[in-house]
Amino acid sequence: MTLQSPRIYTYKITFGEVPYYYYGVHKERRFDEEYWGSPETNKWCWELYNPKKQILEIFPFTDEGWIEANKVEQRLIKPVFNTDKWCLNESCAGTISIKQASIGGKRGGRKIVELKLGIHRQTKEQRIQNGKKAIEKHRELGVGVLYMTKKQRQDAARKSLPTRRKLKVGIHGLTSEQLSENAKKTNSQKWMCLETGHISNSGGLSNYQKARGIDTSKRKRIE
């Protein structure tokens, strides 16, 4: 090996204008060739700012040297992977970042719809039939929210409440105006008890049926 021989090395890319950084490993084809990493998701940072490369460690130009260099790269990335917002590495030892997983999931979802795979291959009637089969299976096994006791449902709701508030999902993602509008719509709906024929709104019919020991699922929406 001479001073002008190709090298294997780990490196760090920094940007003078911002605190972003990126770790990598490179095996040269010729000595001192121009190389600035191989970002994909965060390529914008290289295009927007001025990257600067620092060679951290040089390894023997052998198979063993390449393996060792990759291990060192993983040790550099692991402590900051998915924890430091300034780290631009999107993978580490075969694990992709949360950001990359989200992007991949969205792309995969669009592709599944486009190719009509999975549930998107089924007709509306098939989905309805499969849904009925699933309900029957849940009833047989006694699983699912419909087959939990009242206390179990209350406990599950209490446990999920902090997460739902944090993520602003369901009712916690609605404005006060939206909540008020939904309440008006719910109160305007009329339901009929299938045992007695009594008609009321959803809440009123529930109270009526409970007071008489009638199963609250025995109802039909009439408007």
Dist CA 29 CA 8 (whole Å):
10
Does residue 107 fall inside a structural domain?
Answer: no
Provide mean pLDDT across the span 24-47.
89
Provide the token pair at 65: 């040297």
Q: Has residue 115 been placed in a domain?
A: no
Is residue 159 pLDDT above 80, yes or no? no
Could you tell me the pTM of the whole model?
Answer: 0.44
Residue 68 is assigned to a structural domain of this protein: yes
pLDDT on residue 92: 82
For the cut 80, the answer to whether the pLDDT of residue 34 exceeds it is yes
**Under DSSP, is residue 119 helix (H, G, I), strand (E, B) or coil?**
helix
Q: Provide the pLDDT for residue 131.
A: 63
pLDDT band at 51 (very low <50, low <70, confident <90, very high): very high
Q: What band does 142 get if pLDDT is binned at 50, 70 and 90? A: low
The pLDDT, as a whole number, for residue 151 is 75
The stretch 123-128 carries a mean pLDDT of 69
Q: Is residue 47 in a domain? A: yes
- Averaged pLDDT of the chain: 77
pLDDT at 163: 64
- Residue 198: inside a domain, yes or no? no
Q: Is residue 86 part of a domain?
A: yes
Task: Give residue 186's Cα distance to chain centre.
Answer: 31
Q: Looking at the predicted structure, is the pLDDT value of residue 27 above 70?
A: yes
Which pLDDT score is estimated for 97?
46
22 pLDDT exceeds 90? yes
Q: Which helix (H) or strand (E) holds 66?
A: helix 63-77
Least Cα distance to 9 among 57, 68, 53, 52 occurs for: 57
If one counts the domains in the chain, the total is 1
For residue 98, the one-letter residue type is I
The residue segments making up the domain with residue 80 are 8-97
Least confident of 32-36, 126-130, 141-145, 201-205: 141-145
| Arithmetic mean of pLDDT, 179-186 | 68
Predicted local confidence at residue 20, as pLDDT:
94
Tell me if 82 sits within 8 A of 98, measured CB to CB.
yes
Proportion of the chain above pLDDT 90, given as a percent: 27
Indicate whether 176 belongs to any domain: no
Residue 13 lies in a domain: yes
